[in-house]
Amino acid sequence: MDEGIVKVVIEAIRQRTGGIPLVCRVCGGTRWLSNGIANIPIDSPPGALVIGGRHLPLVDMTCQICGLTQLHNIVVLLGREKFEELVKQQEIQRQAVNEAENILKQKEVKGE
């Protein structure tokens, strides 16, 4: 789960709609979760494994009450510049988590 992206999407929608909150259209819930950015390939043959090429950068937003899942194009929502900034931040966070995990593994090996 990606709590950071949930906050980013909710705030971006609020800003772009003049303050309208993200409310589930099925149950009225306002608590969301997300798995983050999924790059969906487009213009590719069915069943083909595509590396690179054109894609849609979509973020899933899933209602925590009823499970309704909707997709938002994160580049449209944030704009290219903020999107690229977000990707950089996420990469920095991933690296920090990897480094912390490596430190913990090394301590386990040493028996600390």
Binding stretches for Zn ion (CB under 5 A): 24, 26-27, 29, 63, 65-66, 68
Residue 6: count other Cβ atoms within 10 Å of its Cβ. Answer: 20
Contact between 27 and 63 (Cβ < 8 Å): yes
Cβ closest to Zn ion, residue 24 vs residue 78: 24
Residue whose CB is less far from Zn ion, 8 or 24: 24
Q: Which is it for strands 32-33 and 37-41: parallel, antiparallel or unpaired?
A: unpaired
Phi, psi angles (nearest 5°) of residue 10: -60, -45
DSSP code string of 8-31: HHHHHHHHHTTS-----TTT----
Decide: helix, strand or coil at residue 33. strand
Nearest approach in angstroms of CB 87 to Zn ion is 28
Q: Which is nearer to Zn ion, 34 or 78 (CB)?
A: 34
Nearer to Zn ion, 70 or 90 (CB): 70
Minimum distance of Zn ion from residue 16's CB (angstroms) = 21
CB of 34 to Zn ion, least distance (A): 14
Question: Minimum distance from CB of 31 to Zn ion (Å)?
Answer: 9
